[in-house]
Amino acid sequence: MKNYLPLILGMMTVTYIPRLVPLITISRKPINPIVKRFLQYIPYSALSALVIRGILEATPDMRVATVSGICGAAICSYLKGGLILSVIIGIITAYLILQIHM
**Positions in 60-79 near another protein (CB under 8 A):** 62, 65-66, 69-70, 72-74, 76-78
* Residue whose C-alpha is closest to residue 76's, from 66, 91, 90: 90
- Please report the DSSP string for 46-59 in residue order: HHHHHHHHHHHHS-
Q: Which of 30, 60, 100, 102 binds another protein (CB under 8 A)?
A: 102
DSSP state of 80: T
Q: How far is the CB of 73 from another protein (least distance, A)?
A: 4
Q: Which of 29, 30, 48, 60 binds another protein (CB under 8 A)?
A: 48
Q: Which of 29, 40, 64, 100 binds another protein (CB under 8 A)?
A: 40
Q: How far is the CB of 58 from another protein (least distance, A)?
A: 9
Q: How far is the CB of 25 from another protein (least distance, A)?
A: 8
Q: How far is the CB of 79 from another protein (least distance, A)?
A: 9
Q: Burial letters for 16-30: b for 16+ Cβ neighbours within 10 Å, e otherwise?
A: eeeeeeeeeeeeeee
* Residue whose C-alpha is closest to residue 98's, from 54, 57, 66, 76: 66
